[in-house]
């Protein structure tokens, strides 16, 4: 992963939006995902703060495509909620784009690869 090139302002706005999206999912949006656990793993802001890329993780992960579609269908509600809560902090509420966070699946994939490697033990140094 490349080092983050986000400005301090982008990071601050991203944190504010993340907090409010989490608040929405815990309150008004509680039934949106049924019995699937949704976690907001991060928010990345565009340089001009006009787009918020919101990363979600779902358990069980078999339904992630369906849950991501539900998030997209309801993004107007989520954005409206965030807009009301942050209207004094932000001049303009950004567009929301929901994305699936693949970090957990990727780490499991890497662990499987590492577990499947057949690495012989290192030779012990001879003692004199």
* Average pLDDT score over the chain: 87
Query: Does residue 37 contact residue 61 with C-beta atoms inside 8 Å?
Result: no
Looking at residue 128, its pLDDT comes to 60
Give dist(CA 33, CA 70) in Å, integer: 7
- Output DSSP code: residue 91: S
pLDDT band at 1 (very low <50, low <70, confident <90, very high): very low
What is the number of H-type helices and E-type strands within the chain? 4, 3
Query: Does residue 61 contact residue 105 with C-beta atoms inside 8 Å?
Result: yes
pLDDT in tens, 92-108: 999 999 999 887 677 77
Of 114 and 107, which is predicted with more confidence? 114
Give all domains of the chain, ordered by start, each with its CATH number. 8-105 (3.30.300.20)
SS3 breakdown of the chain: % helix, strand, coil, rounded to 5? 45, 20, 35
């Amino acid at each position: 992963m490349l080092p983050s090139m986000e400005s301090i302002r982008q990071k601050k706005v991203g944190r504010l939006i993340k907090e409010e999206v989490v608040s929405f999912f815990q309150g008004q949006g509680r039934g949106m995902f049924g019995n699937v656990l949704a976690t907001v793993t991060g928010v990345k802001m565009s340089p001009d703060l006009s787009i918020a890329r919101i990363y979600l993780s779902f358990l069980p992960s078999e339904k992630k495509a369906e849950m991501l579609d539900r998030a997209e269908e309801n993004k107007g509600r989520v954005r409206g909620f965030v807009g009301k809560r942050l209207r004094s902090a932000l001049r303009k509420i950004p567009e929301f784009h929901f994305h699936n966070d693949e970090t957990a699946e990727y780490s499991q994939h890497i662990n499987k690869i590492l577990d499947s490697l057949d690495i012989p033990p290192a030779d012990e140094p001879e003692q004199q």
